[in-house]
Amino acid sequence: MEKIPLVLMFGPQASGKSSFIKMNNLENYTISADKIRINLNGFMISDGHKQIKFNPDSEPVVWQIFDLMLKTRLAQGLPTVVDNTNLGGGRVNPMQAILDLVPDNYQVYLVDCFEPLLDRDAPLSEASLARALRILSKRNRDREYSVDLAIIERFVDYYAQFELPAGVIKLSSSDAEQLQDLIGQIIQ
């Protein structure tokens, strides 16, 4: 029996996770903490840019709703896409918290939207990471709603230390052929 796909989008803000989801018509299969934050907190204007209003008091509610949505979809055996950065530093490991919930009838995929921004020959070199950060900074300014650049910088720092969990299949967001197969499994 073919396993049900659970897709973890992976990358900092402005790396193209949400754009990938929209371009591939995956919105109806997607859970996003940012969408929940927007519903609960709305937006604010900072330096002339629209930003998701982050309210520390509502974060526990954001994650309760997120967890409930994820657990419900997994219990029903529904293909699911998680639109978060899915990487945290220090004691925070959102990906592991998600993986702990996944039943055996699922296959977890990680779609890396940051990797295509890196140099092929030396992806984790200082120059490669700095170049990717410049691209993300420009994209962040040009997107519908921006985030504080420090949040993106933090992801870039954590990325160099990231280790793919056992059993998770990693795909680059630039690998069109493999991704089309995966998208077909989701929207069948």
Per-residue pLDDT tens digits for 14-47 = 999 999 999 999 999 999 988 999 899 888 887 7
Report all structural domains of the chain as residue ranges with CATH numbers, in order of start.
4-187 (3.40.50.300)
Query: Pairing state of beta strands 106-112 and 169-172?
Result: parallel
In one letter, which amino acid is 119?
D
Predicted TM-score of the model (pTM): 0.90
pLDDT at residue 91, rounded to an integer: 46
pLDDT at residue 150, rounded to an integer: 87
Per-residue pLDDT tens digits for 172-181 = 999 988 899 9
Q: Distance (Å, rounded) from C-alpha 48 to C-alpha 54?
A: 17
Q: Distance (Å, rounded) from C-alpha 133 to C-alpha 154?
A: 11
Q: How far is CA 26 from each of CA 18, 77, 85, 150, 152, rounded to the nearest angstrom?
A: 9, 16, 17, 29, 24
Closest CA to 16 of 150, 127, 135, 109: 135
pLDDT at residue 89, rounded to an integer: 56
